[in-house]
Chains A and B, each alone.
Chain A
Amino acid sequence: MIEIRLHGRGGQGAVTASRIIATAAYEEGKYSQAIPMYGTERRGAPLTAYVRIDDVRVRERELVHNPNISLCFDPLISLQQAVANDLKPNGQVLLNVQFAPEKSELAGDINIATVDATSIALETLGRPITNTALLGAFAKATGVVKLESVEKAIKKYFPGRLGDMNIAAVRMSYDKVSSWVPAKNRVAPKMKVDLEVGGYGTLKDVSSWRVFYPIINEEKCIGCKTCWIFCPEAALEWKANNKPSMIDRACKGCGVCANECPVKAIEMKRVEGS
């Protein structure tokens, strides 16, 4: 049996990707199972899905605790060690990032491959939705399913022209994926950021949700508190000098503050590597 863990953000199609993989496997005469982690996803929040592929019907339904392969659809989440943890020995980690696998800091008894699925998606689909754009790389790098099976599966989920565009994304990432490189550091460090943002109530740290963050121009700022009053997370503290400042663990990067500032003293800057 092959067990795969997928990492993505809520609303970006990681769950659909898990089902496409399961469908591709079935196209090849294998049995499969795709498990989403429901109930906890919020737009922007990290989420996890799982796939099992086997030659016999998959019976068990527990979550995948030790995958053979980990796929990460999001460039920022790809920097988190959690993506590489708990794999079986000699595990494979495929990341959507712009750099080569040698530059990855992820550690463990793992091999890393990378592909810039975001750019591929922007080129072929016009939007940074990377769920299909990573799957071609997945097929080539792991060999778990064939490219044509992935394409057949895509056609089931995306008919017509949309299907063609997605297939173009798949083919491009198939060609562009790097080769496998063993991780530099074989021992995984202790986790700093928890990717489990599940459930209700208070969270410890939502900084991993951000793709943008606010930069405050204190000279332009007139201290009107408009940004402060509208922040849904109370993530702007009001300093003694009558200017706001972002609270790192609380800001989700929604951009309301920048949008509402009457003097445009806040700029939303893209997080490095996203």
Chain B
Amino acid sequence: MSTERMTRAQVPMEERIIAPGSTCQGCGAAMAARLTFKVLGANIIRHGIPCCPDHVTMQPTAGSVFEGGGASLTGTSRGLKALGRTDVKAVAFFGDGGTYDIGFQGLSAAAERNENILVITKDNEAYMNTGGQRSGGTPKYAETTTNPVGPNSRGKAEPKKNIPMIFAAHYVPYIATASVAFPEDLMQKVKYAKDIEGFRLILIQSPCPVGWRFDPAKTVELARAGVQSGMWPLYEIEHGTSFKLNYKPKELKPVSEYLKPQSRFRHMTEVEVNEIQTTVATNWQRLLKADEMKTVVL
């Protein structure tokens, strides 16, 4: 696990993004990009796929078709190895669509082959680039443009796919979750993952003011509420066996603090909110237990 703790004073001052970008005001994904690339350094080839336009960064880019994320990283990584340039790292900055859904097969295969790649996914919980359609990362009850609320629908009926655990079950060297509200934790994890060989994935909670429908000034506040309510736990898993919960408040905040400010959840009834609260509470107990035992069962 990453045992070091980065302090605010240690955060690198240099910007590795070329700002301003074409993202919306208050974009959580832009925050994730800025923080991630601060610690990745210069010797990387950055991969992208069709996605909300993150900032352009000061490294060469590569990329391929939407469904090709895992494969293009593999190709770059293997090519670099064949050329004897293992000093250069293949790094991805993807969205949830290219990770959970259309890109899932390629990433799962790359994980199974333990390709030497670092995948950083900014999760804004829908296909935001094309206007906000639901993805495998959309949480239950969230309204999106392809599951609007109506007499026949309460928004998304299915829970969010558990990507960190799924990839941990490939027994890869490092899986972590992070949030833009905890920037030092995020950067520390990226820094740690950068130097590990093999497949690594970091999933970053990236609230989207347009898609989740909240005041752009509240992006960080909302992300923090997500972590503090247990809806977005921060943890690390290595080799699918050792587990560490990074943020353990004495008491979780109620999920309503996270759900209420987002208009994508405004149709939820008290019963539905309680359902989510129960799910989160149960899951939290499981995570606490895993943290105590320092292991997960996968």
Measured between alpha carbons, how far is A42 from B210 in the docked complex, in Å? Answer: 9
CB neighbours (8 Å) of A250 from chain B are 19-20
- B25 adjacent to chain A (CB < 8 Å): yes
Interface string of B1-36 (1 = CB under 8 A from A): 000000010010101011111111111101100110
The chain B residues found within 8 Å of chain A, CB to CB, are: 8, 11, 13, 15, 17-28, 30-31, 34-35, 53, 55-56, 180, 183, 209-210, 215-221
The chain A residues found within 8 Å of chain B, CB to CB, are: 11, 40, 42-45, 197, 199-203, 205-206, 209, 224-225, 229-235, 238, 249-256, 258-260, 268
A248 to chain B minimum Cβ distance, whole angstroms, is 11
Measured between alpha carbons, how far is A259 from B28 in the docked complex, in Å? Answer: 14
- Identify 4 new A-B residue pairs, CB closer than 8 A, beyond the known A206-B20, A255-B217: A42-B25, A225-B11, A230-B183, A233-B20
Q: Are A230 and B31 in contact (CB under 8 A)?
A: yes
A159 to chain B minimum Cβ distance, whole angstroms, is 15
How many A-B Cβ pairs are below 8 Å? 104
Measured between alpha carbons, how far is A250 from B15 in the docked complex, in Å? Answer: 13
Contact of A11 among B13, B56, B210 (CB under 8 A): B210
B7 to chain A minimum Cβ distance, whole angstroms, is 11
Measured between alpha carbons, how far is A225 from B55 in the docked complex, in Å? Answer: 21
Measured between alpha carbons, how far is A44 from B20 in the docked complex, in Å? Answer: 14
* Contact A233/B19 with A255-B217, A256-B217, A259-B221 known, Cβ cut-off 8 Å: yes
Q: Are B19 and A235 in contact (CB under 8 A)?
A: yes
CB neighbours (8 Å) of B18 from chain A are 202
Q: Are B30 and A238 in contact (CB under 8 A)?
A: no
Measured between alpha carbons, how far is A260 from B34 in the docked complex, in Å? Answer: 17
CB neighbours (8 Å) of B35 from chain A are 229
CB neighbours (8 Å) of A235 from chain B are 19-20
B216 to chain A minimum Cβ distance, whole angstroms, is 4
* Contact A230/B21 with A200-B53, A201-B53, A224-B8 known, Cβ cut-off 8 Å: no
Contact of B218 among A11, A231, A251, A259 (CB under 8 A): A259
Q: Is chain A's interface secondary structure helix, strand, loop, or mixed overall?
A: loop
* Contact A256/B26 with A232-B31, A233-B19 known, Cβ cut-off 8 Å: yes
Q: Are B221 and A202 in contact (CB under 8 A)?
A: no
Q: Are B56 and A202 in contact (CB under 8 A)?
A: yes
Measured between alpha carbons, how far is A256 from B30 in the docked complex, in Å? Answer: 13
Show 8 A/B contacts (Cβ-Cβ < 8 Å), sorted by A.
A42-B24, A42-B25, A43-B24, A44-B25, A230-B219, A254-B216, A254-B219, A256-B216
CB neighbours (8 Å) of A230 from chain B are 31, 180, 183, 219-220
Q: Are A268 and B217 in contact (CB under 8 A)?
A: yes
A250: nearest residue on chain B (CB-CB)? B20
CB neighbours (8 Å) of B30 from chain A are 232-233
CB neighbours (8 Å) of A201 from chain B are 21-22, 53, 56
* Contact A253/B8 with A43-B210, A230-B220, A259-B221 known, Cβ cut-off 8 Å: no
CB neighbours (8 Å) of B210 from chain A are 11, 42-43
CB neighbours (8 Å) of A202 from chain B are 18-22, 55-56
CB neighbours (8 Å) of A254 from chain B are 25-26, 209, 216-217, 219
Q: Are B34 and A234 in contact (CB under 8 A)?
A: yes
The residue in A231, A234, A253 that gathers the most chain B C-beta atoms within 10 A of its C-beta is: A234
A211: nearest residue on chain B (CB-CB)? B25
CB neighbours (8 Å) of A255 from chain B are 26, 215-217
Measured between alpha carbons, how far is A268 from B19 in the docked complex, in Å? Answer: 21
Contact of A249 among B15, B17, B20, B25 (CB under 8 A): B20
Measured between alpha carbons, how far is A199 from B221 in the docked complex, in Å? Answer: 29
B179 to chain A minimum Cβ distance, whole angstroms, is 12
Contact of A252 among B15, B17, B25, B215 (CB under 8 A): B25
Measured between alpha carbons, how far is A202 from B33 in the docked complex, in Å? Answer: 13
CB neighbours (8 Å) of A253 from chain B are 25
Measured between alpha carbons, how far is A61 from B58 in the docked complex, in Å? Answer: 39
CB neighbours (8 Å) of A42 from chain B are 22-25, 210
Q: Are B217 and A232 in contact (CB under 8 A)?
A: no
